[in-house]
């Protein structure tokens, strides 16, 4: 075991897969010699060569487009989109092409592509760096969308994503890159995609969260415990497909749910989760399922992040609403 930050765990997963499978290719803007703008690919070009880890021209659509071409030649591409706010440039290549290739070819072609991209607020980035756009890709049939919240999860989920024979969008929250260390096994391991993780057990209310909001939910749960409220915190880890079994099992125990996301209320995954819960477990609910989300404005100007981003106080407030309903 080693103590790793999430960014180190990601590099470790990439190194593991570059070593394991000669078809794995890592590429994007500044991921080669430079080792990535966040050092996620640090040392990989030096270790595996320019043929495996390489820089691209500055064009997201081209990056995603060549990924599909490389996949059609039997490679397992792991492209990087420098910040997920730039995904609009690559939207056709990802949602219009990569996600659909298995279906449109009647199963004769596939796209074992893992698109890595940082996102997320709280680190004072300039415009269109921090936006939470997971909802856009999660609405596209053919994709899987993974969002880890811990170094341990990041490594196991990234290895699974790379090995998956269908396209995965792997979103890395910038605030979580170096905010804490975790015990991460040095050997390879996988975490099944589409499986949530109960990060904290509780009996009074279920908090479903993903990304940085998992840590806000855990902090809220600690505070709530002081008032005698036992919150169960579920980290989705994969936001498409959703692990409904884990959510429903928890709902049947606690009978109260709050779904938490950093994205705006009209975006993200929360509405989908609420809909599934009300269709499948309404008779187990003591209160409506409430959401914690950002306001429905464009992502905040840097200095307004603190008042705009959802935080643990917002979660406590919503939990109290469902408890006192």
Partner 1 sequence: MKRTIENIENQFETFQILNENGEIVNQDAMPDLSDEELKELMFRMVYTRILDQRSIALNRQGRLGFYAPTAGQEASQLGTHYALEKEDFVVPAYRDVPQLIWHGLPLYQAFLFSRGHFHGNQFPEGVNALSPQIIIGAQYTQAAGIALGMKKRGKKNVAITYTGDGGTSQGDFYEGMNFAGAYGAPAIFVVQNNRFAISVPVEKQTAAKTLAQKAVAAGIDGIQVDGMDVLAVYAATKQARERAVNGEGPTLIETLTYRYGPHTMAGDDPTRYRSEDLDNEWEKKDPLVRFRKFLEGKGLWSEEEENKVIEQAKEEIKEAIKKADEQPKQKVTDLMENMYETLPAHLQEQYDEYKAKESK
Residues near partner 1 (CB under 8 A) are: 51, 56-57, 59, 61-62, 64-75, 92-93, 96-97, 102-110, 141-142, 144, 164-166, 194, 241-245
Q: Which residue has the tokens 């975490």?
A: 191
Choose between 3 and 34: whose C-beta lies nearer to partner 1. 34
Q: Which residues contact 141 (CB under 8 A, 6 or more apart)?
A: 99, 103
Task: In whole angstroms, give the CA distance from residue 289 to residue 275.
Answer: 9
Task: In whole angstroms, give the CA distance from residue 161 to residue 144.
Answer: 9
Question: Which of 124, 129, 173, 272 does the annotation list as catalytic?
Answer: 129
SS3 state of residue 76: strand
CB atoms within 10 A of CB 179: 14
Q: How far is the CB of 295 from partner 1 (least distance, A)?
A: 29
Choose between 58 and 298: whose C-beta lies nearer to partner 1. 58
Choose between 73 and 297: whose C-beta lies nearer to partner 1. 73
Q: How far is the CB of 175 from partner 1 (least distance, A)?
A: 29
Q: How far is the CB of 271 from partner 1 (least distance, A)?
A: 15
Beta bridge partners of 258: 207, 290
The candidate with the shortest Cα–Cα distance to 82, out of 166, 4, 174, is 174
Is residue 215 part of the annotated active site? The answer reads: no
Choose between 55 and 305: whose C-beta lies nearer to partner 1. 55
Token pair belonging to 265 = 């209320």
Choose between 165 and 313: whose C-beta lies nearer to partner 1. 165
Task: In whole angstroms, give the CA distance from residue 296 to residue 271.
Answer: 14
Q: Are 102 and 110 in contact (CB under 8 A)?
A: yes
Task: In whole angstroms, give the CA distance from residue 14 to residue 44.
Answer: 8
Task: In whole angstroms, give the CA distance from residue 131 to residue 119.
Answer: 6
Residue numbers annotated as active site: 129
């Amino acid at each position: 075991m080693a103590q790793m930050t999430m960014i180190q765990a990601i590099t470790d997963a990439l190194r593991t897969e570059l070593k394991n499978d000669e078809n794995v290719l890592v590429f994007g803007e500044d991921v080669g010699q430079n080792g990535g703008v966040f050092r996620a690919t640090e040392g990989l070009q030096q270790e595996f060569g320019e043929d495996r880890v390489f820089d691209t021209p500055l064009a997201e659509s081209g990056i995603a487009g060549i990924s599909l071409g490389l996949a059609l030649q039997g490679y397992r591409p792991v492209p990087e989109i420098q910040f997920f706010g730039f995904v609009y440039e690559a939207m056709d290549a990802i949602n219009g092409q990569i996600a659909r290739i298995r279906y449109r070819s009647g199963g004769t072609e596939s796209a074992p592509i893992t698109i890595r991209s940082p996102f997320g607020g709280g680190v004072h980035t300039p415009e269109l760096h921090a936006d939470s756009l997971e909802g856009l890709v999660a609405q596209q049939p053919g994709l899987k969308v993974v969002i880890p919240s811990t170094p341990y999860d990041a490594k196991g989920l990234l290895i699974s994503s790379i090995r998956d024979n269908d396209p995965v969008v792997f979103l890395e929250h910038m605030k979580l890159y170096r905010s804490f260390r975790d015990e991460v096994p040095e050997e390879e391991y996988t975490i099944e995609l589409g499986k949530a993780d109960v990060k904290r057990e509780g009996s009074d209310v279920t908090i479903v969260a993903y990304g940085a909001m998992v840590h806000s939910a855990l902090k809220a749960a600690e505070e709530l415990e002081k008032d005698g409220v036992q919150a169960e915190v579920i980290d989705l880890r994969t936001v498409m497909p959703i692990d409904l079994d884990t959510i429903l099992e928890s709902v049947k125990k606690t009978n109260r749910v709050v779904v938490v996301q950093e994205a705006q209320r009209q975006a993200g995954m929360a509405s989908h989760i609420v809909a599934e819960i009300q269709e499948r477990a309404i008779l187990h609910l003591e209160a409506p399922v409430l959401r914690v989300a950002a306001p429905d404005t464009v992502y905040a100007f840097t200095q307004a992040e603190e008042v705009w981003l959802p935080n643990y106080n917002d979660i406590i407030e919503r939990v109290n609403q469902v408890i006192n309903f």
